């Protein structure tokens, strides 16, 4: 089976990371093939349950609530996503969403909210979701139109629509961002925990995508929730969203890395066994060039992903630029690595049921969700431009 190569020997990792990665890889190889694959809702529920029962979702919550580390350990999250993505896209998806759909609560939620929500997520008994995007506020988060207005002294009322919401339709709760109006733009948003069975919240439509997973448009129609369900202070929503994405963007890079590593593995095995022109595909120098380009792009992505994760874990308050670099490079590289894998496989590469065909569909959304590549470029360039010393941070 596909391996992480020598990644775990790199100085970014500690013994507990190696232990976690070995256990997860062994579990995934034996358990994932036996889980249902056909109906995406059932497949996701089964994966959340299995990951929770095996204890791996402890990586997605802080130690105070039964998690593995005091704060979310980004290297552990990245290893998990890389290992799962290399084997089973939906397993990666379900793992990631348990983290993304509670990251804001772990960072900024009240103790009571954490106590209420995190244990179920950790055990795979509660499915989490993150509801930020709207039809006209995907990249431009500050333009969101969903409103949160006071309703008496102890409640707020949410009205509007969120779309492309992963786990929409199967989640038990949504972390919802809405315009609460303290100020114009980014400073006037707040985050709220909304339970899926709250009156006024409905699934307006399910969305079918090229790599199927639960995705929906949510409608909020006078959806009344208690004020204590606010995550963070009034007007803190944009910062809560960005701080959550600072953690999870590196993990999207890690998932892309897992898909790319699997594609490279499939490429090498196919090139060494496929016979043509009196030898193997791998004897041809053009195939060797493709393999070399992919190997270089996989390693470059891995270094950026684990650099960003390590920087966050050792206490950096913000890793916005590092995480953006990791996501941008890992997802764009993975798209090219997988495209080469399809090309090397020839007709098989576009045949349903062949792994590289599945990877070709799986990778595409990662260059769009949690900040499209273009957004990552804006984030990286702005960071360098605002801090002209940014390129010379070191002392030497
Ligand atoms: N952590 C904490 N605070 C942050 C932050 C971060 N990573 N990034 C920005 N902020 C703060 C800024 O410091 C600024 O605070 P002040 O008003 O106190 O100065 C505030 O938030 C607004 O930031 P900014 O001016 O950069 O806001 P913009 O509207 O220009 O943001 C981008 C632009 C494109 C960077 C942002 O909208 C974004 O990331 N979009 C992509 C969203 C996304 O990932 N969507 C996918 C949804 S999940 S599938």
Ligand 1 atom nearest the C-alpha of 132 is: 47
Cα(first)–Cα(last) distance of the chain, in Å? 43
**Protein residues whose CB sits closer than 6 Å to any atom of ligand 1:** 132-133, 138-142, 186-187, 238-239, 242-243, 245-246, 318, 320, 369-371, 375, 378-379
Cβ pair 213, 233 in contact under 8 A: no
pLDDT tens series, the chain, 396 aa: 788 888 999 999 999 999 999 999 999 999 999 999 989 999 999 999 999 999 999 999 999 999 999 999 999 999 999 999 999 999 999 999 999 999 999 999 999 999 999 999 999 999 999 999 999 998 999 999 999 999 999 999 999 999 999 999 999 999 999 999 999 999 999 999 999 999 999 999 999 999 999 999 999 999 999 999 999 999 999 999 999 999 999 999 999 999 999 999 999 999 999 999 999 999 999 999 999 999 999 999 999 999 999 999 999 988 999 999 999 999 999 999 999 999 999 999 999 999 999 999 999 999 999 999 999 999 999 999 997 765 556 555
- Measured in Å, residue 242 CA sits from the centre of ligand 1 at 6
Pocket test for ligand 1, best of 238, 253, 370 (most atoms within 8 A of CB): 238
Question: In whole angstroms, what is the distance from residue 334 CA to residue 351 CA?
Answer: 20
Question: In whole angstroms, what is the distance from residue 147 CA to residue 140 CA?
Answer: 16
Cβ pair 82, 261 in contact under 8 A: yes
Q: Is 266 annotated in the active site? A: no
- Measured in Å, residue 198 CA sits from the centre of ligand 1 at 29
pLDDT recorded at residue 5 = 81
Q: Which of 195, 357, 370, 374 is catalytic?
A: 370
Cβ pair 164, 370 in contact under 8 A: no
- Measured in Å, residue 238 CA sits from the centre of ligand 1 at 6
- Measured in Å, residue 240 CA sits from the centre of ligand 1 at 10
What DSSP line would sit under 277-339, residue for residue?
A: TTEEGGGSHHHHHHHHHHHHHHHHHHHHHHHHHHHHHTT-S--HHHHHHHHHHHHHHHHHHHH
Cβ pair 256, 338 in contact under 8 A: no
pLDDT recorded at residue 387 = 76
């Amino acid at each position: 089976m596909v391996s992480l190569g020598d990644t775990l020997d790199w100085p970014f990792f500690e013994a507990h990371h190696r232990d976690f990665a070995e256990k997860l890889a062994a579990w995934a190889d034996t358990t994932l093939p036996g889980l249902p694959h056909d109906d995406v809702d059932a497949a996701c529920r089964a994966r959340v349950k299995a990951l929770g029962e095996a204890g791996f979702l402890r990586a997605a919550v802080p130690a105070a609530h039964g998690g593995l580390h005091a704060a979310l350990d980004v290297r552990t999250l990245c290893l998990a996503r890389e290992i799962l993505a290399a084997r089973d896209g939906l397993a990666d998806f379900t793992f990631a969403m348990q983290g993304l759909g509670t990251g804001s609560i772990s960072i900024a939620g009240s103790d009571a909210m954490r106590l209420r929500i995190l244990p179920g997520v950790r055990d795979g008994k509660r499915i989490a979701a993150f509801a930020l995007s709207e039809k006209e506020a995907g990249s431009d988060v500050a333009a969101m139109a969903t409103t949160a207005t006071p309703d008496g002294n102890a409640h707020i009322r949410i009205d509007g629509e969120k779309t492309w919401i992963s786990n929409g339709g199967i989640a038990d709760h949504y972390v919802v961002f809405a315009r609460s109006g303290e100020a114009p733009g980014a400073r006037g948003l707040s985050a709220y925990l909304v339970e899926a069975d709250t009156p006024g919240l409905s699934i307006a439509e399910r969305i079918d995508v090229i790599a199927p997973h639960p995705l929906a448009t949510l409608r909020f129609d006078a959806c009344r929730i208690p004020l204590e369900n606010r995550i963070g202070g009034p007007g803190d929503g944009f910062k809560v969203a960005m701080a959550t994405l600072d953690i999870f963007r590196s993990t999207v890079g890690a998932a892309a890395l897992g898909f790319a590593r699997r594609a490279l593995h499939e490429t090498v095995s196919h090139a060494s066994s496929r016979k043509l022109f009196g030898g193997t595909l791998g004897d041809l120098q053009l195939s060797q060039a493709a393999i070399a380009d992919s190997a270089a792009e996989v390693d470059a992505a891995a270094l950026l992903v684990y650099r960003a994760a390590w920087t966050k874990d050792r206490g950096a308050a913000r890793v916005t630029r590092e995480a953006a670099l990791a996501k941008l490079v890992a997802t764009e590289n993975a798209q090219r690595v997988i495209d080469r894998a399809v090309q090397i496989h020839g007709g098989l590469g576009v045949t349903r049921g062949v792994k590289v065909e599945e990877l070709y569909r799986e990778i595409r959304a990662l260059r769009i969700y949690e900040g499209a590549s273009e957004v990552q470029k804006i984030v990286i360039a702005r960071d360098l431009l605002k801090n002209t010393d940014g390129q010379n941070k070191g002392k030497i």
